[in-house]
Amino acid sequence: MIEFWFEFASTYSYPAAMRVERVAGEAGLGVVWKPFLLGPLFHAQQGLTDSPFNAVPVKGKYMWRDLARVCADEGLALKTPAVFPQNGLKAARVTLALPEAARPAFVRAVYTANFAGGALISDEAVLAGVLADLGHAPDAVLAKAGGDAVKAELKKNTEEAAARGVFGAPTFFAPDGEMFWGNDRLEQAARWSRKTSTRPIDMKVDAS
Amino acid sequence: MIEFWFEFASTYSYPAAMRVERVAGEAGLGVVWKPFLLGPLFHAQQGLTDSPFNAVPVKGKYMWRDLARVCADEGLALKTPAVFPQNGLKAARVTLALPEAARPAFVRAVYTANFAGGALISDEAVLAGVLADLGHAPDAVLAKAGGDAVKAELKKNTEEAAARGVFGAPTFFAPDGEMFWGNDRLEQAARWSRKTSTRPIDMKVDAS
């Protein structure tokens, strides 16, 4: 089992969401999908009030080019969003309002709407359309997404992410708690998870 | 040919320096070694006066763990330096004071001294020892490293890096100018460089 922690505003979470089940599956692993909010962590850890890719334009320019290469390699469409970053709060709550088995398809559809479809995923009508396309009853799901239980669960996820040392998205956790940050660490996280599911890792670092 | 831009203080430049010739060579490519100073870029672009890994401790903690995994995978020793980041100014100047053919071995030896040997690479005596071990005449090289021509060349490299959009190290450039940031992009940079040496890439991004 591999934990996949994602934030809907996060650019590299898009390719990660689209391929995490395939890569994990090739390693014989299931995926636990964990939405959280990165904004509060960015603010608490780095004092940021915007995406670091907006705060540091030279990094942002490179990120969009790198993301284009990553998506091209994966055969994923990419259209620079009109608004970046988008507010992923509602989409994250809707994810948690769905049964676990229904979450991966919804998450992929929302990322595709954001990064390939030019949609405003902060808009409840957009989320309702995604839900309807997937065969869900939008009104019922959105009502549950606005309830206290879902709000508390997302808050708890975000607090857990902070407590476990998360500072970006996507982040993966192996069963032994080992953390991997970034879409480009997914394969490594899967290898590590497979190994630690059978025997402990002997990897010492001399930090004397 | 692939350009390898590195800063001696940069942690991920260590594994990159140790493997760039092998990875480039497997793609049939030579390497141009380009030392530059990252500090002025960090300051100008991000207002930083320290390594971002010190400025944001939660990122620093992860970086050292990730670097340990990267080095373990490469069979490279890693000992967390007593001082981080170290001032790489003198080492960069010494690099440029050497004939081009002698630079790669010197650069690798300095990275190993810093990240595996616990040495203070800002110390001229340490650099003299590295030079002597490699069969160079330390006094003559250090004298040249302190001269105006070398100082001007390092300044020019740093200005060129900034002008070309560099914001971190290591950074690789393909012959067509495509930029890749990070040790984990080396294989991709080599593939890109090999392709662009024979035909143009058709990779369009819909940014409409």
CA distance B79 to chain A (A): 5
Q: Is B46 on the interface with A (CB under 8 A)?
A: yes
DSSP three-state, residue A36: coil
pLDDT (tens digit, 9 = 90+) per residue, B13-55?
A: 999 999 999 999 999 999 999 999 999 999 999 888 888 888 8
Which residues share a beta bridge with B79?
A206
Average pLDDT, chain A: 93
User: A184-204: string of b/e by CB count within 10 Å (b at 16+)?
Assistant: bbbebbbebbbeeeeeeeeee
pLDDT at A208: 46
**Residue B199 pLDDT:** 47
Which tokens belong to A40?
């509060």
Q: Residue A155: which of A99, A93, A110 has the closest Cα?
A: A93
CA distance A18 to B199: 30
Tens-place pLDDT, residues A89-116: 999 999 999 999 999 999 999 999 999 9
Digitized pLDDT (tens) for each residue of chain B, 208 residues in all: 999 999 999 999 999 999 999 999 999 999 999 999 999 999 999 888 888 888 889 999 999 999 999 999 999 999 988 789 999 999 999 999 999 999 999 999 999 999 999 999 999 999 999 999 999 999 999 999 999 999 999 999 999 999 999 999 999 999 999 999 999 999 999 999 998 865 444 555 555 4
Q: Using the beta-carbon criterion (under 8 Å), do A61 and B165 form an inter-chain contact?
A: yes
Chain A contact for B43, CB < 8 A? Answer: no
Interface list for B 95-154 with A (CB within 8 A): none
The whole-angstrom distance between B96's CA and the closest CA on chain A is 27
Q: Scanning every residue of chain A, which has its alpha carbon at the shortest distance from the alpha carbon of B163?
A: A58
Instruction: Please tell me which residue, A139 or B82, carries the higher pLDDT value.
Output: A139
How large a percentage of chain A has pLDDT more than 70?
94
Å between B68 CA and nearest CA of chain A: 6
Local structure of A198: helix, strand or coil: coil
Dump pLDDT digits (tens) for A150-166.
999 999 999 999 999 99
- Cβ neighbours of B208 in A, within 8 Å: 79
B78 contacts A205? CB cut-off 8 A: yes
Strand locations in chain B, DSSP E? Answer: 2-6, 31-35, 171-173, 179-181
Per-residue pLDDT, A55: 86
Those of residues 153-172 in A touching chain B at CB distance below 8 A are: 165, 167-168
d(CA A71, CA A78): 7
- Cβ separation of B181 and A46 shorter than 8 Å? no
Judged by DSSP in three states, B201 sits in: coil
Contact of B142 with B127, CB cutoff 8 Å: yes
User: Which of A56, A62, A180 comes nearest B181 by C-beta?
Assistant: A62
- Residue B50 contacts by C-beta under 8 Å, 6 or more apart in sequence? B85
Q: CA B98 → CA B37, B108, B142, B156, distances in Å?
A: 18, 14, 10, 17
B62 touches A: beta carbon within 8 Å: yes
Mutate which: A11, A58, A64, vs B, most B CBs within 10 A: A58
Q: Is the pLDDT of residue A137 over 50?
A: yes
Identify the three-state secondary structure at position B180.
Answer: strand
Taking the C-alpha atoms of residue A10 and residue A38, their distance in angstroms, rounded to an integer, is 8
Q: What is the pLDDT of residue A27?
A: 95
The string over B164-192, giving b where at least 16 C-beta atoms fall within 10 Å of a residue's C-beta and e elsewhere, is ebbbbbbbbbbeeebbbbbbbbbebbbeb
Q: For residues A71 and A43, is the Cβ–Cβ distance under 8 A?
A: no
Contacts of A147 (CB under 8 A, 6+ apart): A97
Q: Which pLDDT does position B82 carry in this prediction?
A: 79
Q: Choosing among B46, B62, B79, which should be mutated to test the A contact, i.e. which has the most A CBs within 10 A?
A: B62
pLDDT in tens, A34-85: 999 999 999 999 888 888 888 889 999 999 999 999 999 999 999 988 789 9
